[in-house]
Amino acid sequence: MFSQRIVALLVALVASVALAQEKPKPEQLQIAQGTLLAPKAFRAASKRVLPSLVTIEGIGGLASGISAAGIQAPGEGPTSGVIISPDGYIVTSTFNFIRKPPIITVTLASGERKVATLVGRDETRKICLLKIEGVSNLPVPTWAERQQLRVGQWTVALGIGFGGNEPALTAGIISATSRIGGKAVQTDANLSPANYGGPLLDLEGRVIGICVPLNPQSRDEGSGVDWYDSGIGFAVPIGGNEKIIEALKAGKTLQPAFLGVQSEPRGTPASGAHVVQVVPKSPAETAGIKSGDQLQAIDGHEILDVTHLQSIIARYNAGDKATISIVRGEEKLDVAAEFGVPPVQAKPPMPGKR
Amino acid sequence: MIAGPLIRFIRSQFVNSCLAIVVIGSGFCLAQEPTDNGPFADAVAAAQKRVVKIYGATIGRSPGYATGIIVSPDGQIITASGVHLSEGNVRVTMPDGSLQQAEVVRRSPSLQTALLKVSVPTPDFFAIPEQPAASKGDWVLAVSNAFKVAEGAEPLSVNIGVLSLRVRLDARRGYNDFPYEDDVYLIDAITSNPGAAGGAVVNAQGELVGLVGKVIEGKTTGTRLNYAVPADLLQRFIRGDEPMTAVAETTPRGGKGELGIRLFALGGRKSPAYIDRVLPGSPAAEAGLKTDDLVVSINGEVVRDSGDFRRLTDTLPAGVEITLEVKRKNDLLSVRIKTAAVKTP
C-alpha cells in the first residue's frame, strides 16, 4: 500500500514536470534572442551600402587649430559622403568644408581617387553636392520611404572619419521622425564628425538620411557638433526630394527663409503673432505687411503663436514664395511674400568644447 | 453500516489528493524556466565578479579613482595608468566588498596601463580570449565605476553599445600628444568619463573584449573618444613583452637640448610636474629618473607646475648640465643631467 502510494506520487511528479515543459516559450525569450542577432543585421545593412560610401578629403584651407565659425577646431581626418547618381553626384555635409579647402578629393569604394567640385549647398540642411567627372555606372543606394519610418526602429550609421580602411559602425533607434522644421530625423545612434556626410540606414540597408550636425535653436555652421555622445543626432532625408537635388545641381545655395517681422502674442489669453515692427527693406515690407497686422496663416497653415510662426517660416528657403493671410483691424486680406536671405550678423564668440 | 469504511476510504483518498496536489505543484515549480532576465544578465553577472574599484590620490584635475579588471587567480589587476597611482597608497574594493591595499607592479607608457597586485586570492578572473571576442557591430557591455556612482560594495555601472571599429589611435590628452601608438577598439557606449578608465568591455557572453581607456581627444575628429585597449594587446602587457619606444622625440626647433622627460598631461599648464615617462636611453633615464617622480626644481628654481617646467626646459640648448630635484615618495633626490641633442628623423 505504502509503496503503491510512493509510485503514484513519483508518476504524478514526473508527469507534472513533463507537462510544464510543454508550455510555450515566453515572448521575452524570443525578444532576447532577437536582440542577440541584431549585430548580424547591422553588418548586413552596412554591407549593402558600402559600395556607395566615399571618403572625402579637403586639402589646404584654414590651418588646423584655428577655430573656424566659433566651434571647436574640426579634426584632421577624412570625412564621409554618399554617391547619389551613377554619373558622379555625391552628397556630403557642409561641416566637412568649414575650413574652405581649395581642393576636394573623393575616394571611391574601388580605391580610385578623384578631384571633386562643390556644386551647390543647402544651408538649412547642412548638406552640399559634389561632382566628380569621368565616371559612369556608379552604385547608388536605395532610399528608405520617409512615411514608413517609425520611432523605435533600428538605425545604423556609418562614418569614415576615424581613419582606417573601413567605416566605423554605430547603432541606435529613431528617436523622432520629424525635427528641425520637418527637415531631419532624430536618432540616438552615436553621431560625431566621424559620421557627418555619411548615411543613416535602416535594417534593410536603405538610406534614411545623411548625418549632419543640427540644432533647432541655432543655425550657426558648427552648431550641434557638441551634441556628440549626447544621444541626440540628426540625419536629413533627401531620397525622393528632387526639388532640393535639382536646386543643388543647378549650383544654388539654399538658405533659410527670412521674413522680417518682430511679433508678439496679444489678447487674453495672449496668443497669435501680431506684428510689432517690420524690418525696413525686408520681404515683409515688400509684401505690404504693416505694424499692427495679425499674421494668421502662411499658405493656409494657421499660426498659433510667435514660436510657431518661426517654425513655419523655417520650412521655407530664401527665394520661396508664399501667401500670408493677415487680419488688419476689421479686414482680412492675403499678401504674396517672397522670403529673403537672413541678414548677416556678427557672430558672438561661442564657447567651444575642449 | 457503510459509514466507517466509507469514512476511512474518503480520508485516505483525501490524504492522497493533498499529497498529489503538493507533488504536482512542486513539479511545475521545478520545471519552470528561470525568470528571463534579458539577453545580457549572465554576461553582466560574470563581469561584476571580475571588476574592481580603485582609489588613489587626487592630484590636479585627475579624479583619484578608477576601475580595474582581475586577470589572474593570484590577485593581478590591470587598470589604466594615471597619477592616482603615484603616491603609493592604492586601495582596491574587491567584488566581494572587501578593501585591499594594492601594489603597483609595472606600467606600460605605450598602452597607458598599469599592473597592480593585491595579496588575496582571486578565483574569478578574466582570461584573455584566443580570438577577438567581438567584431564590428557586435554588442559590447562596459562595466566601470564612472563618476564613482557605485559606492562601497555596490555593483558597478553597466552600459551598452556596439563595437564600431578597430583602428590605429591618433589622439591627444590636453595639450600633449597621447603616447598610445597601437590599435584600439572604438565603441559607441559612452565610456569617456572620469573613473571609467580600467573598466571591462565584454561581449554578450561575458568574454573580455578590452579595457576601457582614458579620457582623450581623437585628432581625426576633434572629439572625445570612447575606446578600449584590445584584449590581445593586454595579453602582451601581462606577459611583459612591450615594444620599446624610440628615444628622444624630435621637436620642430633644431639645436634644442632634450632631457627625455614627458610629464603627465592632466588639466593643462597648471598641473603638477609629475613625470609620466622617461624616454629609454635618454639623459633622464641614465640619471635614474622614474615615472611618478615629481620635478620640484631646476637649477634651484622652483617648479610649481608643468607650465614652469616647460618654461625652464624649452630653451635649453644641447650639451648643458643642469641640476634637477625630484620628489620620489617621501624623499628629495638631486640629479645632474646633461641635455642631449634632439634626434632628427
pLDDT in tens, A325-339: 999 999 999 999 999
Coil/strand/helix, residue B65: strand
What is the CATH classification number for the domain harbouring A159? Answer: 2.40.10.10
In a domain, B28, yes or no: no
In a domain, B304, yes or no: yes
| B243 or A31, which is more confident | A31
Q: Are B215 and B112 in contact (CB under 8 A)?
A: no
| pLDDT higher than 50, residue B250 | no
Distance from C-alpha of B324 to C-alpha of B10, rounded to nearest angstrom = 100
Q: Please indicate, yes or no, whether residues B154 and B297 belong to a single structural domain of this protein.
A: no
| pLDDT higher than 70, residue B344 | no
Pick the range with the lowest mean pLDDT from A23-32, A157-166, A277-286.
Answer: A23-32
**What are φ and ψ of residue B108, in 5° steps?**
-120, 110
Host domain of residue B268: 257-341
In a domain, B295, yes or no: yes
Q: What is the pLDDT of residues B109-168, one digit of tens each?
A: 899 999 999 999 999 999 999 899 999 999 999 999 999 999 889 999 999 999 999 999
Chain B within 8 Å of A26 (Cβ-Cβ)? yes
User: Please, which residues bridge with residue A327 across strands?
Assistant: A294, A332
- What DSSP line would sit under A263-331, residue for residue? EEEETTTTEEEEEEEE-TTSHHHHHT--TT-EEEEETTEEP-SHHHHHHHHTTSBTT-EEEEEEEETTE
What is the CATH classification number for the domain harbouring A288? Answer: 2.30.42.10
Q: Please indicate, yes or no, whether residues B300 and B170 belong to a single structural domain of this protein.
A: no
Residue B140, amino acid: V
* Beta-carbon contacts below 8 Å between A and B: 145
Q: What is the pLDDT of residues B85-97, one digit of tens each?
A: 988 889 999 999 9
Q: Please indicate, yes or no, whether residues B147 and B186 belong to a single structural domain of this protein.
A: yes
User: Please, which residues bridge with residue B331 across strands?
Assistant: B328
Q: Please indicate, yes or no, whether residues B85 and B223 belong to a single structural domain of this protein.
A: yes
Enumerate the H helices of B49-124 as residue ranges.
none
Q: Measure Cα distances from B268 to A14, A186, B28, B300 in Å.
A: 71, 36, 65, 24
Coil/strand/helix, residue A82: strand
What is the CATH classification number for the domain harbouring B334? Answer: 2.30.42.10
Helix B3-31 and helix A2-21, axial crossing angle in degrees, nearest 10: 40
Closest CA to A210 of A243, A235, A185: A235
| 8 Å CB contact of A19 and B28 | yes
Please compute the mean of the pLDDT values over residues A171-187 and round it to a whole number.
93
Q: Are B228 and B216 in contact (CB under 8 A)?
A: no
Residue B264, amino acid: F
Q: Please indicate, yes or no, whether residues B153 and B271 belong to a single structural domain of this protein.
A: no
Domain ends where: B173, B207, B239?
Answer: B239
Q: Please indicate, yes or no, whether residues B273 and B228 belong to a single structural domain of this protein.
A: no
Q: Please indicate, yes or no, whether residues B181 and B303 belong to a single structural domain of this protein.
A: no
Domain ends where: A100, A131, A162?
Answer: A131
Question: Which ipTM did the prediction report?
Answer: 0.78
Q: What is the pLDDT of residues B256-300, one digit of tens each?
A: 678 888 887 655 556 678 888 888 888 999 899 998 888 888 887
**What are φ and ψ of residue B5, in 5° steps?**
-60, -35
| 8 Å CB contact of B188 and A189 | yes
| pLDDT higher than 80, residue A72 | no
Residue B131, amino acid: Q
Enumerate the H helices of chain A as residue ranges.
2-21, 27-49, 242-249, 283-287, 306-313
Q: What is the pLDDT of residues A294-348, one digit of tens each?
A: 999 999 999 998 988 988 888 888 999 999 999 999 999 999 999 999 887 654 5
Q: Please indicate, yes or no, whether residues A122 and A152 belong to a single structural domain of this protein.
A: no
In a domain, A17, yes or no: no
Q: Please indicate, yes or no, whether residues A265 and A288 belong to a single structural domain of this protein.
A: yes
| Total tally of structural domains belonging to chain A | 3
Chain B within 8 Å of A337 (Cβ-Cβ)? no
Please compute the mean of the pLDDT values over residues A50-71 and round it to a whole number.
70
Q: Which chain A residues are closer than 8 Å to B19 by Cβ?
A: 5, 9
User: Please, which residues bridge with residue B70 across strands?
Assistant: B77
B24, B39, B190: residue with CB nearest A16: B24
In a domain, B155, yes or no: yes
Q: Are A155 and A189 in contact (CB under 8 A)?
A: yes
Q: Please indicate, yes or no, whether residues B261 and B230 belong to a single structural domain of this protein.
A: no
In a domain, B19, yes or no: no
| A21 or B326, which is more confident | B326
Q: Please indicate, yes or no, whether residues A152 and A96 belong to a single structural domain of this protein.
A: no
Host domain of residue A275: 261-338
| 8 Å CB contact of A169 and B16 | no
- Identify the pLDDT of residue A282: 95
| Total tally of structural domains belonging to chain B | 2
| C-alpha cell at position A49 | 551600402
